[in-house]
Amino acid sequence: MTRAEVTRAQVTRPQVTRAHAITTVGLVHIYRSEGHDVAALSGVDLSVRAGEVVGLLGPSGSGKSTLLALLGGLFRPSAGKIFVGDRELSALTAAELDDFQARDTSLMLQGARRNFVPYLTVRENVEFAQAQARRLGAQVDPVERTLGLVGASDFADARLGRLSQGQAQMAALAVAMAPSPGVLLADEPTSALDRRAREVIIEALLRINAEQGTTVVVVTHDPEVAARLPRTVTIRDGRIGGEGRSGQEYAVVTADGFVPLPVHLREELPPGTLLRIERVEDGYLLAPEVLGHEVLGHEVSGREVSGREVSGREAPGHEAPGHESDGATGA
């Protein structure tokens, strides 16, 4: 093999990534605001398989970015536990947490320019990010491989001020992937981008997962972005509000028996509605009690609200995108 062939092989051969599973148990985060305690997260139970791509979908203020920051070890939860691989984050010492953040996980902050040293080129930023991981003994991919993986090779020697918004996001993604992490956490990576640039970023995220095996968690408020991801978890009011898998929407039963309802059902079942739960052959039937033209004092537009069958069959292994859920009923 010639020197050129050896170099080409080093550039194209991916570093084997140690993808990590993520599990949260009863996760609560409370912060002070204007003299009051505010619950950003209220008992979040989340499970992400190693090597999975998951979107966290929700409106601003729903708690999704707080959840991402907790997964990245930026601060500790008020209650509950976070497991990334075999590590329980709250149990880590400061030195162990530094090691975890430098080698095992990367957090891509919202706003591309927050991820850079502004006076360095894209290539120099990637090299700088790799240096800390190398000091801790991590094996990282060659810089050219990382730049090519996210599509940033053509502007690798440009500084931040010369990049378009789309290019800046791609460069931020290259910096996040510099240490070849097992987990990539991306906070609103497509915000403020046009449709074409947004698609480029989504394709890069999916390519990182496919070629590196990296576990990828993406926060977004955009249902169209979520629709491009194989699994979506909706976050509303600090709780998991539902999931989408393979084009199908699902409610998620929480540890305390809380069952969020999809938005369209919430519109048909106003607060206070009595639901009769009946066992059927392959699942359960939720049937609202209808009294004349009212459901517990709420008018139902002159029509009866039909019973909704909830299948007991297991959900497919991949998740469908972009379906938000809201409201809840105890079960």
Can you give the pLDDT at residue 28?
Answer: 94
- Alpha-carbon distance of 45 to 27, in angstroms, equals 7
What amino acid is encoded at 83 in this protein? F
Report the pLDDT value the prediction gives residue 87, as an integer from 0 to 100: 92
Tokens of 267: 């519109």
- Per-residue pLDDT, averaged over 47-59, amounts to 94
Cα gap 287→268, rounded to integer Å: 12
Rounded Cα–Cα distance for residues 93 and 97 (Å): 6
Domains of the chain, by residue range, sit at 22-229, 263-330
- Give me the percent of the chain exceeding a pLDDT of 70: 80
For residue 33, give the 3-state DSSP assignment. Answer: strand
pLDDT (tens digit per residue) in 130-161: 988 888 777 888 999 999 999 999 999 999 88
Q: Which two tokens stand for residue 19?
A: 């993808």
Token digits of residue 116: 């850079």
Average pLDDT across the chain, whole number: 81
Where residue 297 falls among pLDDT bands split at 50, 70, 90?
Answer: very low
Cβ atoms < 10 Å from Cβ of 305 = 18
pLDDT at site 17: 54
CATH tag, 22-229? 3.40.50.300
SS3 content of the chain, % helix, strand, coil (to 5): 30, 30, 35
Across the range 217-243, mean pLDDT stands at 90
Distance of CA 207 to the CA centre of its chain: 16
Task: Report pLDDT for 324.
Answer: 43
pTM, 2 dp:
0.77
Nearest of 92, 85, 86, 106 to residue 19 by alpha carbon? 85
Q: For 89-103, what is the mean pLDDT?
A: 89
Which of 50-64, 253-267, 296-310 is predicted least confidently? 296-310
Extract the runs of DSSP E, i.e. beta strands, from 193-282. 215-220, 231-236, 239-245, 248-250, 258-262, 275-280
